[in-house]
Amino acid sequence: QVCKSCNAADGFHLDASVQLCKQNVCYCDGGVAATGAACTTHNTQICTRCIDDGYRLEDKKCMKNVCNCENGEAETGALCIIDGGNICSKCDYDGYRIVPHPLSGANSCAQNICKCDDGDPATGPECTTHDANICTRCDDPANFRLEGGHCKQNNCTCTSGTPAGPTQLIPCSRHNGHICASCDHDGLTLDFRTGHCIQNVCRCDNGFAATGPDCRVNGSNTCDSCEHEGYRLEHGNCLENVCACLNGKSATGANCTANGGDICQTCENAGYTMDADKKCVQNICICDNGDARWG
């Protein structure tokens, strides 16, 4: 049998050395070689399908997939399951994490999303762990401090009153600081510059100023006792006594020893004399063998 030509459409070729028609034999790197009529050219790489992961059938050849990766390094080999796909082996930048696709399982680099109680959450490279509580700023910096990426409430103390804090009118601006919002004890006043409860200082016109709990209003005229004769303590004030005098001039100053008392300084009406009680009393005369004068 000598053949002059072969039916190429059925996958045969002429072997010139023996003048016979022989079945084409194809090969396929990474896949299944074509046979029969599908193997159109003898000893040629013609594939019908690819069996190795990471390969695709293109122009009847098994070609290695080439992946991309936004914000990281692309997968290669068997893990690059989709040619041209965004499939990552690792993320190059801080603030990104590997996330598998819910269906294909292919990994991509997704940006971390952080949260922050009482402040602004970290973004970008500062958000080092996805879904973590990491803050960059606190909403209430007067009462909260940023510590270790968290907004922590400052705690203040006040030995003589109510500590400052977010529920008070005075903020706790320094953690562990001695800062008061109000003073709870009589005789103390809040110094708004320092946040400390300081001792009230009172004054007293014509007497001795109250101190301690008795000095209730800082800077007020509040007396504990009166220094001079002729003054009385009334509602925390040293007031000058006011005396009366029938038939004479009322005592004043140190001579008016009791407020509202009938105390005279001099007797102005004729026939009156000041007695030992400082009162102007009518003179009484004696007349032997006649009528005494009076007044």
> What tens digit of pLDDT does each residue of 127-165 get?
999 999 999 999 999 999 999 999 999 999 999 999 999
Kindly tell me if the per-residue pLDDT of 69 is higher than 60: yes
What dihedral angle (degrees, nearest 10) is formed by the CA atoms of 6, 11, 13, 18?
-90
Radius of gyration of the chain, Cα coordinates, nearest whole angstrom: 55
Cα separation, 123 vs 135, in Å, equals: 9
Instruction: Dump pLDDT digits (tens) for 12-59.
Output: 988 888 899 999 999 999 899 999 999 999 999 999 999 989 999 999
Q: Give domain limits for the chain.
A: 8-64, 72-111, 119-153, 200-240, 242-295
Q: Which amino acid is at 239?
A: L
In whole numbers, what is the pLDDT of the chain averaged over residues?
93
Contacts 24+ apart (CB under 8 A), 217-223: 218/189
Phi, psi at residue 293, to the nearest 5°? -85, 155
CB-hemisphere CA count at 13 Å for 10? Answer: 8
Cα separation, 136 vs 127, in Å, equals: 9
Kindly tell me if the per-residue pLDDT of 279 is higher than 90: yes
Six token digits for residue 200: 């009230």
Instruction: Look at the pTM and tell me if it is higher than 0.85.
Output: no
Give me the pLDDT at residue 111, please. 97
Residue 255: pLDDT band (50, 70, 90) is very high
At CA 272, angle to CA 267 and CA 273, rounded to 5?
70
